[in-house]
């Protein structure tokens, strides 16, 4: 994955989707002209998963949760949310997603999200010390 997630000191959250991001959103809902697919099967994210909405984040250190606010806010999988394995269409994107987290080191954090059936655990790494 080559996405860049930015957690700003003012509470804003943004992301830049890299060329190596695989978008699992159902391609059947879009016309062929809209799909920009790379050789490895990765496609450009569609609204609201394209990072153009206003998004914020909150960290609850007591509960060890990271909450992303804003339609289309996500980390790693754009189509998975709390209690949802696959968001059927972008219209149904939630306004908030909550991840459990574990601090691995000063520069790494492990995130965990529960869909309905599927659960995903992954690690993100700090690239710039701000």
What pLDDT, on the 0 to 100 scale, is given for residue 111?
Answer: 96
**pLDDT per residue over 12-51, tens digit each?**
999 887 766 655 555 544 545 555 555 555 566 777 888 8
**pLDDT per residue over 72-83, tens digit each?**
899 988 888 999
Q: What is the mean pLDDT of residues 81-107?
A: 91
Helices (H), the chain: none
Residues composing the chain: 130
Tell me how far apart the alpha carbons of residues 119 and 113 are, in angstroms, rounded to a whole number.
Answer: 6
**Collapsing DSSP states into helix, strand and coil, what is residue 109?**
strand
Cis peptide before 89 (omega within 30 of 0): no
Who has greater pLDDT, 87 or 34?
A: 87
Domain ranges of the chain: 4-125
């Amino acid at each position: 994955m080559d996405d860049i997630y930015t957690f700003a000191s003012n509470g804003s959250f943004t992301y830049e989707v890299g060329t190596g991001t695989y978008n699992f959103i159902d391609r059947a809902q879009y016309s062929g002209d809209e799909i920009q697919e790379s050789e490895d099967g990765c496609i450009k994210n569609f609204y609201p998963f394209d990072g153009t909405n206003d998004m914020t984040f909150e960290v609850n250190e007591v509960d060890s949760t990271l909450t992303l606010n804003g339609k289309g806010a996500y980390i790693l999988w754009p189509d998975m949310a709390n209690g949802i394995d696959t968001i059927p269409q972008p219209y149904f994107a939630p306004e908030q997603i909550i991840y459990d987290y574990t601090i691995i080191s000063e520069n790494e954090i492990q995130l965990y999200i529960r869909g309905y059936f599927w659960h995903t655990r992954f690690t993100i790494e700090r690239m710039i010390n701000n």
